[in-house]
Amino acid sequence: MGLYEDQLLPRAIDLALRGKAIDRMRARVSSGLSGEVVELGFGTGRNLPHLPDGVSVLRIVEPAAVGRALAAGRIAARHIPVEDVGLDGAVLPLPDESVDHVLSTWTLCTIPDVRAALAETARVLRPGGALHFIEHGRAPDTRVARWQDRLTPLQRRLFGGCHLNRPMAALIASSGLHLQDLENFYMQGPKVLSYMYEGRAVKR
C-alpha cells in the first residue's frame, strides 16, 4: 500500500464516517454481538464504543497500518482484547467454525475479492453465528444505479477500491448465509453514495 492508502485515506474515512446518525447505525448493527467476534475492516476502531459487554475478544482485519494506531484510545477505553488476524478478509487465518460473529461496517465495498471474503466469513462462523453488516451498495433506482456504474471506476481509484454498485444482499446470500434481517434505505446525501444495506445473515 502507498502513503495515500495507508496513511491519508484512513484518516479521511475516520472523519467521514462519524456523527450521530452513523453512531446510531453502528449501535444497531453491533447489537447482539457476543463471544469471539471478527471485524472486517476495523479501521480506526469507531465500532468499539458500540460493542456489547458480552464480546470476549475482537479479532480484527485491517490493511492500513495507521488504523490501529489511531484506534489506541478507543481500544484502551473498552478493555476488550483486540487481536490482529490479517490484512485481507478474503484470507482469514482462523479454523473452521471458530468464531461466534463477524462484523462488517462499510467494508465489503472495498475488498477486491468480496465473494472470497464472504465465503471465508461463512467458513469461520459457528453454526448459529451471524454476519452483522451495514454497507452501501447498488440502488434499486435504475437511474441511480446507472450513475453508480459510471462513477465506480473513479471511486475505486480515489477511495481504496470502494465500489458504489455492489449488490450487497445478493452477494451475502450467495455465500450460503441466510439473510435473517435486511433493511434498505437512503442516508442523507447523494443517492449514488448513500443506499444502505443493514442486517444480519446467519449460518445455519
Mean pLDDT (whole number) for 105-133: 97
Confidence of residue 16 (pLDDT cuts 50, 70, 90): confident
Phi, psi of 110 (to 5 degrees): -105, -20
The answer, yes or no, to whether residue 152 has pLDDT greater than 80, is yes
pLDDT at 2 (0 to 100): 66
Q: Which run of H or E residues covers position 36?
A: strand 35-40
The residue whose grid cell reads 477505553 is: 77
pLDDT tens digits for 23-57? Answer: 999 999 999 999 999 999 999 999 999 999 999 99
Confidence of residue 172 (pLDDT cuts 50, 70, 90): very high
The answer, yes or no, to whether residue 1 has pLDDT greater than 70, is no
Fold of domain 3-202: Rossmann fold (3.40.50)
Alpha-carbon distances, residue 169 vs 20, 132, 134, 176 (angstroms) = 25, 12, 11, 12
pLDDT at 17 (0 to 100): 83
Confidence of residue 126 (pLDDT cuts 50, 70, 90): very high
Give the chain's mean pLDDT. Answer: 94
Q: Which run of H or E residues covers position 38?
A: strand 35-40
Indicate if the alpha-carbon torsion angle 9, 38, 110, 191 is positive or negative: negative
pLDDT at 8 (0 to 100): 79
